[in-house]
Amino acid sequence: MSSSIDVGGQVRWNDQGLVPVVVQQWDSLEVLMLAWMDEEALRRTLTTGRAVYWSRSRQSYWRKGDTSGHVQQVRGARLDCDGDTVLLQVDQVGVACHTGTRTCFDSIDLHPFVDPAAVMPGEEAS
Amino acid sequence: MSSSIDVGGQVRWNDQGLVPVVVQQWDSLEVLMLAWMDEEALRRTLTTGRAVYWSRSRQSYWRKGDTSGHVQQVRGARLDCDGDTVLLQVDQVGVACHTGTRTCFDSIDLHPFVDPAAVMPGEEAS
């Protein structure tokens, strides 16, 4: 009988054994970043209260904040309907992005066309 | 001189030519789903005001809502610091998930350990 918790049994891992993780600030609901986990990173994240990822570039585990101090305390974790994406809600200490911005999505705007007909009267299509 | 808009020039596509897209309701900030785009899907999304994805299972383009009526009107689009993830803000008509729930993350709770020491006094660690 194994003493390990079966945290990954419901997850559909990709062909590299990874799953994408959307990381969201639990109270403001900002999307902070997207990262990747293998089964061990998910197990550590779900059992320790700290977010742990798999770094694809460094090919190693990466407990968020160990170097930067920008720790992520886990507040919730959900799996999507297909079992192939995790939504991790955290309390982010300091900034999430290694560039120094609060989220990893703060710098590059893709400037989409926003259909004025789809915007409610009185609203601004920013 | 090409008349096409260079929407994909900043994106780092994966080895299948795809990028993951985090889809968020623009006003409530709920994370609705994660989907994938190739360069053409991103171009259609950014230029038409409607979210268009690449279906990896069906190997075809998929304009959200064409079958279900659950259209996504584009409100914003950002690229992350590494250029390998898109955050798409939309106005979701009806439900986002094909299972009938508002988001694709409504059904499966992974029940993480939440460190009580990391929760502010008076807050509940849900």
ipTM of the assembly?
0.93
Q: What is the Cα–Cα distance from A23 to A34, expressed in whole angstroms?
A: 6
Note the pLDDT tens digit of each residue in B7-38.
668 999 999 999 999 999 999 999 999 999 99
CATH code, domain with B64 = 3.10.20.810
Interchain pair A80, B108: CB under 8 A:
yes
Within a domain: B47: yes
Q: What is the Cα–Cα distance from A51 to A23, expressed in whole angstroms?
A: 9
Give yes or no for a contact between A77 and A88, defined as CB atoms under 8 angstroms apart.
yes
Within a domain: B60: yes
Within a domain: B29: yes
- Which residues, other chains included, contact B38 with Cβ-Cβ below 8 Å and sequence gap of 6+? B13, B17, B18, B19, B54
Within a domain: B113: no
Q: How confident is the model at residue B122 (pLDDT cuts 50, 70, 90)?
A: confident
Q: How many CB pairs under 8 A join A and B?
A: 151
Give yes or no for a contact between A35 and A22, defined as CB atoms under 8 angstroms apart.
no
Identify all chain A residues contacting B114, using CB atoms and an 8 Å cutoff: 49, 73-76
Q: How far is CA B48 from CA A79, B105, B120, in A?
A: 31, 27, 45
Q: How far is CA B4 from the centre of its chain?
A: 24
Within a domain: A13: no
Token pair in block for residue B117: 């020491």
Q: How far is CA B20 from the centre of its chain?
A: 8
Within a domain: A43: yes
Within a domain: B108: no
Q: Which domain holds residue B74?
A: 19-102
Nearest CA of chain B to the CA of A63: how many Å? 15
- Considering only CB atoms, B118 lies closest to which of A31, A91, A97, namely A91
- Which residues, other chains included, contact B66 with Cβ-Cβ below 8 Å and sequence gap of 6+? none
Query: Which residue from B minimizes the CA distance to A114?
Result: B49
> What local confidence, expressed as pLDDT, does residue B119 receive?
86
Q: Which of A80, A90, A119, A123 should one mutate to test binding to chain B, selecting the residue with the greatest count of B CBs within 10 A? A: A80
Within a domain: B26: yes
Domain count, chain A: 1
Q: What is the Cα–Cα distance from B105 to B108, expressed in whole angstroms?
A: 7
Note the pLDDT tens digit of each residue in A110-120.
999 999 998 87
